[in-house]
Amino acid sequence: MSVRVGTTDRAITAFGGAELLREAGRAVGLATELDECLKLKKRARGLSDTEFVMGMAESIALGAGCLDDLAVTRADAAQTQLRGFEVPAPQTAGAWLRRFTLGHVRQLSKALLAAQRSAYVAAGVKGVTLDFDSTYVFSRSRRRQGVDRTYKKGYALHPLLCFDAETGAAVHAKLRRGKAGASTGISTFVTEALRAVPDGVEVRTRFDSGFYSGPLFTQLEGAGVTYLCGAPLAAPILEAASQIVDEYWAPCLDKDAEVAEFGYRLRDGGPFRRYIVKRIEIPPGKQASLWEGGYRYWIFVTNDHVTDAATLEAEHRQKAVVETGMAELKSNFGLHAFRKHGFMANWAWLLVVCLGHNLCCWAQHLGALGGGRCDGELRAKRLRYRYLCVPAMLVRGGRRLTLRFPAEHPFLTRLLAALDRLRPLTPARG
């Protein structure tokens, strides 16, 4: 049977679930924070700065991977009515990004940190775990501002990122030159990221060995923050670990390995700190090293003096989930490349991408859609396929707009329940 293809003037949208994103943004007071903080445009005509950010972030959350993809959501007349404004045209959005200076980037970052703080308040969290890491975003052009050749034999920028371990939200982001070291600017970055956490909430932080430094530990200890940071296998540290006698080793919780602890003081002074070491016996026939003997060692330092070593080792190993967040941003949210020439324009794009990612996380977490890494629904592809990219028809009647979903949609009940949970939430500031 042949199928005829035609067009219609009725208000039909392919993104009926976008209402979840807007309700999540409203629940954390996103528009209010942007209005108060971001002052980029000098004229009142056209879209406001808030509308630029929210329109672009919503498009990225729905699947836009670059500025040209904004044309798809811009052409959706039904969503324009629901949103109250149009998504900016790709050329207009590019010109708007090019106007950013360092001060405007700081303003946008401040607004997003405040929105994340409101999300924590709305969720009623009692403790958060923040994972810090950096990643390379490679460029095909070496003429972009800030791009440098790296040890990976390519030209790249080197953003620094902080993720919430429970929801996967990108709490904070900072763009750096490609030649920046892993821990360059980490002190200021940690201070800024902690502003997203409401008062009275317990904070635990996790780092890999690239951030290992005494000043960072002193800063976190002074702020009352618990940290778990990987330690490099330097000769003095490795020697101290290898001298632990066998009776002090205990089995790990879920690995065929052993764990122990020792005290160590850095060469630049400071207090003795608690070091947790895990060892795995090298199987016969595998290459061993002169310093490690018959074992492989993994070591990290912490200021948690209450939790047992095996539990801390299992907790620190979960820090690897931060790689999932960075892979999400690159594969599903448009961070696979920075396409603008200007450094500040690319930094602004980084923050908008993180906001689009966070809208998905907030919608899942606050709407109780099974969000979070443990439930497996954090990945954007599944969220879009089940809840966001749902066809719907917009009708007007009784002086109000009604969005009609297909009655046979298998996840319609959960989608409507999430909307019912999000709508009573009021923006709160911690």
| DSSP-assigned states of every residue in 198-251 | PTT-EEEEEE-GGG--HHHHHHHHHTT-EEEEE----HHHHHHHHTS-GGG-EE
Q: What ranges do the domains of the chain cover?
A: 12-102+341-422
Burial class for 88, CB neighbours closer than 10 Å (0-12, 13-18, 19+): buried
Q: What pLDDT is attached to residue 384?
A: 92
With b meaning 16 or more CB within 10 Å and e meaning fewer, what string describes 16-44? bbbbbbbbbbbbbbbbbbbeebbebeeee
pLDDT for residue 62: 95
Which residues share a beta bridge with 250? 259
Q: What is the pLDDT of residue 285?
A: 64
User: What is the helix (H) or strand (E) element at residue 388, kind and residue range?
Assistant: none
Supply the DSSP symbol for 67: G
Give the CA radius of gyration of the chain. Answer: 24
| DSSP, res 272 | -
User: Residue 295: CA atoms inside 13 Å, Cβ hemisphere, count?
Assistant: 20
**pLDDT of 287:** 63
Cα pseudo-dihedral 178, 53, 420, 18, rounded to 10? -90
CA–CA dist 6, 142 (Å, integer): 46
Which pLDDT tens digits describe the chain residue by residue (430 residues)? 889 898 888 889 999 999 999 999 999 999 999 999 999 988 888 999 999 999 999 999 999 999 999 999 999 999 999 999 999 999 999 999 999 999 999 999 999 999 999 999 999 999 999 999 999 999 888 889 999 998 888 899 999 999 999 889 999 999 999 999 999 999 999 999 999 999 999 999 999 999 999 999 999 999 999 999 999 988 888 888 888 888 899 888 877 889 999 999 887 777 889 999 998 887 776 666 655 567 888 999 999 999 999 999 999 988 888 888 899 999 999 999 898 999 999 999 999 999 999 999 999 999 988 644 445 456 888 899 999 999 999 998 888 889 999 999 999 999 999 999 999 998 875 4
Task: Report the candidate in 184, 188, 183, 161 with the shortest Cα–Cα distance to residue 172.
Answer: 161
Q: Which of 331, 301, 335 is nearest to 316 (CA)?
A: 301
Q: What is the pTM of this model?
A: 0.92
Query: What burial class does residue 412 get, using C-beta atoms within 10 Å of its C-beta: 0-12 exposed, 13-18 middle, 19+ buried?
Result: middle
> Which three-class secondary structure state does DSSP give residue 411?
coil
| Total count of residues recorded for the chain | 430
Residue 397's pLDDT is: 83
Please state whether beta strands 258-264 and 127-134 pair in parallel, antiparallel, or not at all (unpaired): unpaired
Question: What is 312-377 written as a DSSP string?
Answer: HHHHHHGGGGHHHHHHHHHHHSS-S----SSHHHHHHHHHHHHHHHHHHHHHHHHTTSS-STTTT-
Name which of 113, 152, 116, 109 is nearest 134 in CA terms.
Answer: 152
Q: Which long-range contacts (CB under 8 A, 24 or more apart) does 6-13 make?
A: 10/393, 11/77, 11/78, 11/81, 11/393, 11/394, 11/395, 12/78, 12/391, 12/392, 12/393, 12/394, 13/76, 13/78, 13/79, 13/391, 13/392, 13/393, 13/394
SS3 at position 396: strand
Q: How far apart are the first and last CA of the chain?
A: 60
Give just the sign of the alpha carbon dihedral 322, 319, 193, 27: positive
